[in-house]
Amino acid sequence: MTIDVVDLIMQDHREVERLFDELRSHPEKRRNLVPVLTTLLTAHSRAEEATVYPAAKTEAGETEEVAHSQEEHAEAEQLLERLGEANPESGEFDKLLEQVMRSINHHVQEEESDVLPGMKERLSDQRRAELGEAFIEARKRHLGQQPGEATKEQLQTQARNLGVPGAAGMSREELERETKP
């Protein structure tokens, strides 16, 4: 069975929205749900960065949209890192959760109205199925990773998605500077 990468991405988006609803309406579940949210979003983002964004950029002509999406991933990762460190019973947590939700919901809306339709239009069903398989494998590899734990290779991928020249020759520290908002 083949699965279109666009459909997979949208399924993840719906699951994140469901988790946001749970976090908002059931504060007593926050301690258990925050790691689920951060793990899902980190795996999703890293899989997009490694498999989807390069294809969207080179094959679907979504260069500017990919760079913008990559910037939003970096912003969300910083917010998720702070959320994971916050006391779930504090006012700070509530503020951070609202920031995370605004940031992610904005990203989802843009991705679903700009990048994904471009991929549907410009990539064949077969290519989207191939990307779907690659996305699933990449997401599996990244499960368990948390925000702020990107490897040098992942930072190089992020830098390429942003269009940073010379990323291959940069140190980890230089890559971190270039990929942070």
Per-residue pLDDT tens over the stretch 144-168: 877 887 888 888 888 888 888 888 8
pLDDT at 35: 94
For residue 9, pLDDT beyond 80: yes
pTM of the model: 0.85
pLDDT at 162: 85
Largest CA distance in the chain: 48
30-47 helix and 125-142 helix, angle to the nearest 10 degrees: 130
Q: Give mean pLDDT, residues 21-44.
A: 94
Q: Over pLDDT 70: what percentage of the chain?
A: 99
Per-residue pLDDT tens over the stretch 117-127: 989 999 999 99
Q: Give mean pLDDT, residues 88-105.
A: 95
Average pLDDT over all residues of the chain: 91
Q: Give mean pLDDT, residues 93-122.
A: 94
pLDDT at 176: 85
For residue 1, pLDDT beyond 70: no
Per-residue pLDDT tens over the stretch 46-68: 999 999 999 988 888 888 888 88
